[in-house]
Amino acid sequence: MLSLFESQLAHVPWASRWRIAFWLPIALLVTLLLGATDALAHGVTLGDKGYIQEISGVKLLPFVYLGAKHMVTGYDHILFLFGVIFFLYRLKDIGLYVSLFAIGHSTTMVLGVYFNVGINAFLIDAVIGLSVVYKALDNLGAFQRWFGVQPNTRVATLVFGLFHGFGLATKILEYEISSDGLVPNLLAFNVGVELGQLLALAVILVGMGYWRRTAGFVRHAYTANVAMMCAGFVLVGMQLAGYVVFHV
């Protein structure tokens, strides 16, 4: 659908893009406000942190809940998913890309915690912010125009899914989850993540369905992706700033 978007966008007067000047500051402000909360990117709230540290044994339902809560409130995940499905219209394509993201996310989350493999939380979350930037640029056709090359979107979705999973695994490792019932609890958490992803995806698809039927979708799609790209850069900047402050 990208070629259709570009062909339609070519007929949109440049003057109409002044709206970017209005939307971008709002996007940046919202992202900064979100970043100021306790649950920065892959962060876990203090209550959930205490619960994870204190419990032991198999606790399937609580971990399903925690996994779903993480996905629904994980705005970096939501932004990336939003970008992934932005120009996908067929359920078959949506299912394929969401499945690739889920496979990547699930693999590194479970294996990262099980084998105690973590990455600095600030750096991995900066990469996750870059995934949002990448997807926005891809939607805008920037790589094709700038470099004459179109990245493999399926491979990119899977690879960035791996990074998203490492982000969560790193946080879980910081909270020293009990080894008693570790595997069942991790699997339950992952089930919750996928349920939360489906819920978030359903909301996005309903909203996109209404938006795509409006006359201004193509014109506003440009603005939305530029705003998403800027939000991704803000996420990257916040994480790198955190790394400098706390680790340098």
**Paired tokens of 55:** 């419990």
The reported pLDDT for the residue numbered 36 is 45
Cα distance between residue 161 and residue 80, in whole Å: 10
Q: What are the residue ranges of helices labelled H in 86-216?
A: 91-114, 121-139, 142-147, 153-174, 182-212
Locate the domains of the chain by residue range.
2-247
Q: What is the pLDDT of residue 66?
A: 87
Q: Residue 196: which pLDDT band, with cuts at 50, 70 and 90?
A: very high
**pLDDT level of residue 6 (50, 70, 90 thresholds):** low
33 to each of 73, 151, 222, 235, how far by Cα in Å? 14, 32, 24, 11
pLDDT of residue 12: 46
pLDDT score, position 53: 74
> How confident is residue 168, by pLDDT bands cut at 50, 70 and 90?
confident
pLDDT confidence tier of residue 83, bands split at 50, 70 and 90? very high
Is residue 139's pLDDT more than 50? Answer: yes
What is the average per-residue pLDDT within 138-166?
93
Q: What is the mean pLDDT of the chain?
A: 82
CB 192 within 8 A of CB 71: yes
Could you tell me the pTM of the whole model?
A: 0.82
Instruction: Report pLDDT for 46.
Output: 59
Report pLDDT digits (tens) over 117-137.
Answer: 878 889 999 999 999 999 999
